[in-house]
């Protein structure tokens, strides 16, 4: 296929990208948004598992030209139609909707969705004919239009619309400031003296230091601390110098902004080598006039000399990590001179305590605070990725107090903090973090040792065969007479010597055999000694073994249609001890270490391996399917598939983007009654019944449902067997 030239947008196109609700297939949307960005578009990426309302609200706040979605988990008809309806309802009908879902979205469904109003749903055929870049070009060309003009009524002038926090007006005005600055000046000049008392918290730091996660944690605490107050966030990310595109990805980290008291706007710098957009002051001013109680301004990642945030904020927070290099690097960071507060984020990293001490000392030196204790410097260790982190709690409290102190506002935060320092809450204890590596190292060492032991056994076998050759007899046929736990039966072998001149050579071979055998593990020598016995046990008609002191006898052969005896287990025909030993150590028979052929000596004979797989719709429908696939079989081996709503730990709902996924590609289970219906008619405590469940996060809840369903089954059996129905009914009524 010939290379397709990327389309060059005429306008500053902004597109929101995401994967649909309960959909973890994020590979496709990541590929697409990278190509979209490389084509010169500002991409506001939300990641996967995003509801329609979340995507639509984001598109309106960001004043996007279009939304690009992938949907590979079903429910796409309801999802896309609901998105279209919600955009119409919220007065954002100009935002175009594009989507794709591979072969999941059928051709007739694509036609139906596009007739409904979806701009374009791309199919696998489109991908084959147009190529990835061709599809992206087609989408961007349709989304390449200037933002519509600001719609204002005579009854609601601009200032009133802003003060009412009408999101469409705020978003459009910021876009006008970015794209048509002369028009913005004309519209906004009468309001330029308003909102000057609103405080601005500036947050900056190096790329990857966790600024967005820190902002999210601060917003969460702010919303809890002040149930009536509002907050706005302006987040800046760099534009690519080569293409003009930008990845505005801060919303991926924002879990607390799904609140009508929060407004967020992502801006691209639209210039190189700067951490802020030249229109950021306009955006902040608009939000101030809109009357948000606090504005947070987050820059893109900065270098050591950047202090641009200071020109736009009342209080500044510098976010860094313990991994800044040598202590001398701290002397080069300009923000340590000017930041009101410093957050040493990712405090769970090794060496964090030393880094905290060094940064505090550097802050003390830079600010000439020689009479103030180092411990009281405004530098705080935080782990923003950890819920209710003590360090982040303290950081939030300090910032709110600093805002009151420097701006004259009266937040008067009542947020409670503890005296404890940030400490990582480990899922895996630090001394066990290498447990997977230890397993692989152990396995590699085992394989290496097995190979070494094989060579030792092979040498012993060579010496043994040399003795055979010297004596001109075949000792192997009667090995039991010449081998023992301690090695060779020398006296028995010497009786085979016919000529006196051979004794000296045989004695020398005995010594070499004993020397080499010192390197062989006694356990491995037992394997060699017992090899013929093991082979014979599988040749016998019946194989016996014990499980919990119960002897089990198994027929070792099956009879074919030609009346031939076919062994169920056939051992290799090795003769050399090294080969025998390596096979026994690395593979071995079923029921013996390392269990590569199974845990038990033989497979079940009473039932064939089966997987009675079902999962679609509600529990009643799946239950009928279970009964159908297990009909007439003594063993019930049920395998349950759950729908994406259940897999993501959510409840079913009539909301269209959820409703379309209920019972899709799995069964919907959201309560104990559903679990009882699902396994109704199956005796869950019977050894001939087993249940497997394909589940992830909600596994503990599903296990709880299953256990309670099994317990209730037994209770019902007991009640019926003892004729306690009336007594139980009376107790329930009482």
CA-based angle 238:240:242, to the nearest 5?
Answer: 160
pLDDT of residue 479 exceeding 60? no
Radius of gyration of the chain (CA): 37
Task: State how far the Cα of 337 lies from the Cα of 358, in Å rounded to an integer.
Answer: 14
Task: State how far the Cα of 37 lies from the Cα of 136, in Å rounded to an integer.
Answer: 10
Smallest Cα–Cα separation from 493: which of 464, 533, 532, 528? 464
Q: Mean of the pLDDT values across residues 430-455?
A: 94
% of residues, the chain, pLDDT over 90: 74
More confident residue, 697 or 450: 450
Task: State how far the Cα of 350 lies from the Cα of 454, in Å rounded to an integer.
Answer: 43
Q: Mean of the pLDDT values across residues 65-87?
A: 97
More confident residue, 491 or 554: 554
Q: What is the 3-state secondary structure (H, E, C) of 94-137?
A: CCEEEEECHHHCCHHHHHHHHHHCCCEEECHHHHHHHHHHHHHH
Q: What is the pLDDT of residue 17?
A: 98
- Number of H helices and E strands in the chain, helices first, is 26, 22
pLDDT of residue 438 exceeding 60? yes
- What DSSP state is assigned to residue 691? E
Task: State how far the Cα of 662 lies from the Cα of 354, in Å rounded to an integer.
Answer: 52
Q: What is the pLDDT of residue 472?
A: 76
Smallest Cα–Cα separation from 249: which of 212, 280, 224, 217? 212
Q: Mean of the pLDDT values across residues 200-210?
A: 93
Smallest Cα–Cα separation from 198: which of 174, 167, 162, 225? 162
Q: Mean of the pLDDT values across residues 222-226?
A: 96
Q: Coil, strand, or helix at residue 645?
A: helix
Architecture of domain 195-407: 3-Layer(aba) Sandwich (3.40)
pLDDT of residue 537 exceeding 60? yes
Query: Torsions phi, psi of 659, nearest 5?
Result: -55, -40
Question: In the structure, what pLDDT confidence band is assigned to residue 604 with cuts at 50, 70 and 90?
Answer: confident
| Residues 115/117/121/126 CA torsion (nearest 10 deg) | 60
pLDDT digits (tens, 9 = 90+) for 381-410: 999 999 899 999 999 999 999 999 999 898
- What DSSP state is assigned to residue 93? T
More confident residue, 140 or 727: 140
| DSSP track, 656-689 | HHHHTTTTSSSB---SHHHHHHHTTTS-TTSTTE
* 594 upstream amide cis, omega within 30 of 0: yes
Question: In the structure, what pLDDT confidence band is assigned to residue 497 with cuts at 50, 70 and 90?
Answer: low
Burial of 518 (0-12, 13-18, 19+ CB in 10 A): exposed
Question: In the structure, what pLDDT confidence band is assigned to residue 498 with cuts at 50, 70 and 90?
Answer: low
Q: Which CATH class is domain 14-143?
A: alpha beta
Question: In the structure, what pLDDT confidence band is assigned to residue 542 with cuts at 50, 70 and 90?
Answer: very high
Q: What is the pLDDT of residue 478?
A: 43
Smallest Cα–Cα separation from 70: which of 104, 94, 37, 36? 104
Q: What is the pLDDT of residue 420?
A: 77
Q: Which two tokens stand for residue 494?
A: 């010497």
Q: Domain-by-domain residue ranges, the chain? A: 14-143, 195-407, 444-586, 612-733
Question: In the structure, what pLDDT confidence band is assigned to residue 319 with cuts at 50, 70 and 90?
Answer: very high
Q: What is the pLDDT of residue 264?
A: 98
Q: What is the pLDDT of residue 475?
A: 58
More confident residue, 326 or 579: 579
* Spacing of C-alpha 167 from chain mean position: 33
How long is the chain?
A: 734
Q: What is the pLDDT of residue 664?
A: 92
pLDDT digits (tens, 9 = 90+) for 619-632: 999 999 999 999 99
Q: Mean of the pLDDT values across residues 341-362?
A: 93
Q: What is the mean pLDDT of the chain?
A: 92
Q: Which two tokens stand for residue 85?
A: 């309806």
Burial of 307 (0-12, 13-18, 19+ CB in 10 A): middle
Q: What is the pLDDT of residue 470?
A: 83
Q: What is the pLDDT of residue 477?
A: 43
**Sign, Cα dihedral of 559, 562, 564, 566:** negative
pLDDT of residue 499 exceeding 70? no
Answer for the pair 497, 503: CB distance below 8 angstroms, yes or no.
Answer: yes
Say whether 195-407 and 14-143 share the same fold: yes
Looking at 192-206, 208-222, 345-359, 492-506, which range is the least confident one? 492-506
Q: What is the pLDDT of residue 468?
A: 82
CB atoms within 10 A of CB 494: 14
Most confident of 177-181, 241-245, 262-266, 558-562: 262-266
Task: State how far the Cα of 43 lies from the Cα of 16, in Å rounded to an integer.
Answer: 6
Looking at 18-22, 465-469, 641-645, 654-658, which range is the least confident one? 465-469
Q: Which two tokens stand for residue 614?
A: 């079902």
pTM above 0.75, yes or no: yes
Query: Torsions phi, psi of 73, nearest 5?
Result: -120, 15
Task: State how far the Cα of 497 lies from the Cα of 513, in Å rounded to an integer.
Answer: 18
pLDDT of residue 500 exceeding 60? no
């Amino acid at each position: 296929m010939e290379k397709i030239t990327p389309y060059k947008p005429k306008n500053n196109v902004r597109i929101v990208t995401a994967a649909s609700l309960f959909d973890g297939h994020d590979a496709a949307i990541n590929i697409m948004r990278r190509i979209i960005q490389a084509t010169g578009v500002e991409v506001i990426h939300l990641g996967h598992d995003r509801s329609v309302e979340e995507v639509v609200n984001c598109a309106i706040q960001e004043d996007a030209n279009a939304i690009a979605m992938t949907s590979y988990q079903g429910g796409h008809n309801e999802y896309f139609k609901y998105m279209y309806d919600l955009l119409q309802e919220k007065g954002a009908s100009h935002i175009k909707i594009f989507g794709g879902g591979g072969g999941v979205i059928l051709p007739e469904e694509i036609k139906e969705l596009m007739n409904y109003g979806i701009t374009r749903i791309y199919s696998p055929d489109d991908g084959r004919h147009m190529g990835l870049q061709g599809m992206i070009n087609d989408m961007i060309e349709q989304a390449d239009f200037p933002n519509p003009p600001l719609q204002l009524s005579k009854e609601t002038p601009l200032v009133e619309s802003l003060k009412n926090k009408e999101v469409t007006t705020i978003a459009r005005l910021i876009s006008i400031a970015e794209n048509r600055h002369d028009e913005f000046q004309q519209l906004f000049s009468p309001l330029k003296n308003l909102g000057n008392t609103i405080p601005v918290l500036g947050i900056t730091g190096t790329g990857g230091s966790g600024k967005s996660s820190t902002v999210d944690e601060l917003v969460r605490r702010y919303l809890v601390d002040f149930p009536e107050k509002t907050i706005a966030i302006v987040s800046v990310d760099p534009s690519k110098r080569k293409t003009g595109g930008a990845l505005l990805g801060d919303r991926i980290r924002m879990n607390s902004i799904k609140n009508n008291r929060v407004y967020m706007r992502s801006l691209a710098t639209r210039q190189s080598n700067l951490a802020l957009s030249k229109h950021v002051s306009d955006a902040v001013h608009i939000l101030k006039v809109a009357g948000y109680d606090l504005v947070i301004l987050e820059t893109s990642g900065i270098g050591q000399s950047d202090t641009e945030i200071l020109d736009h904020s009342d209080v500044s927070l510098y976010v860094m990590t313990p991994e800044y290099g040598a202590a001398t690097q701290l002397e080069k960071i300009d923000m340590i001179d000017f930041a009101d507060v410093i957050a040493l984020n990712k405090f769970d990293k090794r060496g964090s305590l030393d880094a905290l001490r060094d940064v505090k000392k550097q802050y003390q030196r830079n600010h000439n605070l020689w009479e103030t204790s180092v411990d009281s410097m405004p530098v705080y260790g935080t782990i923003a990725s950890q819920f209710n982190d003590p360090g982040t709690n303290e950081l939030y409290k300090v910032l709110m107090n600093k805002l009151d102190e420097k701006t004259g506002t009266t937040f008067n935060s009542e947020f409670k903090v503890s005296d404890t320092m940030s400490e990582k809450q480990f899922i895996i204890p630090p001394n066990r973090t290498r447990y997977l590596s230890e397993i692989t190292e152990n396995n590699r060492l085992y394989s290496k040792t097995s190979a070494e032991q094989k060579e030792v056994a092979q040498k012993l076998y060579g010496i043994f065969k040399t003795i055979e050759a010297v004596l001109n007899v075949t000792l192997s046929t009667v090995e039991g007479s010449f081998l023992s736990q301690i090695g060779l039966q020398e006296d028995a072998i010497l009786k085979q010597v016919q000529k006196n001149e051979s004794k000296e050579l045989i004695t020398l071979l005995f010594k070499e055999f004993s020397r080499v055998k010192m390197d062989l593990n006694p356990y491995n020598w037992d394997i060699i000694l017992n090899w013929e016995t093991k082979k014979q046990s599988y040749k016998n008609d019946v194989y016996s073994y014990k499980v919990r002191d119960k002897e089990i006898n198994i027929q070792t052969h099956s009879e074919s249609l030609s009346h031939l005896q076919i062994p169920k287990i056939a051992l290799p025909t090795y003769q050399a001890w090294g080969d025998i030993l390596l096979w026994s150590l690395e593979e071995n028979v079923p029921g013996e270490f390392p269990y590569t052929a199974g845990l038990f000596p033989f497979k079940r004979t009473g039932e064939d391996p089966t997987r009675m797989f079902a999962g679609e719709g509600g529990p009643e429908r799946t239950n009928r399917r279970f009964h159908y696939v297990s009909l007439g079989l003594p063993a019930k081996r049920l395998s349950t598939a759950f729908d994406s709503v259940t897999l993501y730990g959510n409840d079913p709902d009539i909301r269209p983007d959820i409703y379309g996924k209920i019972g899709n590609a799995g069964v919907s289970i959201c309560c104990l009654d559903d679990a009882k219906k699902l396994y109704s008619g199956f005796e869950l405590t019977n050894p001939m019944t087993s249940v497997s469940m394909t589940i992830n996060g909600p596994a503990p809840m599903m296990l709880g449902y299953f256990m309670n369903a099994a317990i209730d089954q037994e209770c019902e059996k007991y009640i019926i067997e003892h004729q306690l129905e009336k007594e139980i009914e009376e107790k329930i009524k009482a």
